[in-house]
Copies of this chain bind each other. A is one copy, B any other.
């Protein structure tokens, strides 16, 4: 396995205290790689980063129209939400419109990701249920597809269920690769996660953002989902979280979605590009920092819009500045080469 370069460094005082290695792919809808840093061919589990792709059947099947789903319900189907009141309301609404209820969610329960939401639940003396799971919107969407297609919703999360097989086919077609069952894992929320190279994920996001390379029906479905997320960025993640902040500032120029274990993807429709990042050690702080730097390098307005994310200040419990999370020189150098590239060219920079 190729050693990936250091993408992000965490500095305290004058020393680099920790670092995050990983890989970054930037590709267009045809699969041309504009930039590759590190190993972009090794299959990685995309986890929640591809929720918008997993939600495509909700539109394509006609379920979204039949159940008259609005932007918030579509956005929550693409979300890793914080479990805030607005998120729970959107999931309940989606379920109710499809004639379902939360007892049918197979995602398992966890305390809301959002600190405030978590505290409010605790203060009310309650315990979390499946609806508080950050994936409950995605699951509600999968259930709605099953019901609309006249399928038994029980077991909708399992590999053998037609809903998961349809998602597998869509992921494969959108990213332009075969998905190998020997490279399938079970996600935290119990649905299959299919490993794919970053190069393919970046291509998939370029297609998701532009519709290029997709059938007309799928291109329209993708456009509708991305537009729903742009209309309600807070639905996709939550208060203070990276994806919500980035899209609040940069929609419709950037669609962004993170997943567990340091995967983070983006679509930049205006540039016709997709981006896929995986940090080797799975750290969210590393993936977010690398992706922010990549967006800032690609979009003229990115650096000012993401100033807080790029500053990466670490403050301690008393509010003292004690360190910084910053892109490595290697990542900066690789991204710097983008400025010199003719966008029609296909340049691969391996960073190792």
Q: Does A99 reach chain B (CB closer than 8 Å)?
A: no
Task: Tell me the minimal C-beta distance from A289 to chain B in angstroms.
Answer: 12
- Bound together, the chains give a CA A137 to CA B153 distance in angstroms of 53
Contact digits for A1-34, partner B, Cβ 8 Å, 1 yes 0 no: 0010000001011110111110000000000000
A93-120 CB contacts (< 8 Å) to partner B:
106-110, 118-119
What are the residues of chain B within 8 A of A182 when measuring CB–CB?
14
Residue of B nearest to A188 (CB): B316
Q: Does A184 reach chain B (CB closer than 8 Å)?
A: yes
Contact A316 B108 (CB under 8 A): yes
What are the residues of chain B within 8 A of A13 when measuring CB–CB?
45, 183-186, 195
Instruction: Quickly give the copy total for this chain.
Output: 2
- Bound together, the chains give a CA A292 to CA B158 distance in angstroms of 35
- Bound together, the chains give a CA A19 to CA B18 distance in angstroms of 14
Contact B286 A316 (CB under 8 A): no
Residue of B nearest to A323 (CB): B185
Q: A14-B182, A21-B21, A190-B317 are in contact. List 19 more A-B contacts (CB 8 A).
A: A10-B282, A13-B185, A13-B186, A14-B183, A17-B44, A17-B185, A18-B261, A18-B262, A18-B280, A20-B281, A21-B280, A106-B318, A108-B316, A108-B317, A108-B319, A119-B122, A123-B123, A185-B323, A189-B317
Residue numbers of A with Cβ under 8 A of B are: 3, 10, 12-15, 17-21, 43-45, 106-110, 118-119, 122-123, 125, 133, 182-190, 193, 195, 261-262, 280-283, 286, 316-320, 322-323
The 5 closest A-B pairs by CB, nearest first: A108-B317, A13-B185, A18-B282, A122-B122, A108-B318
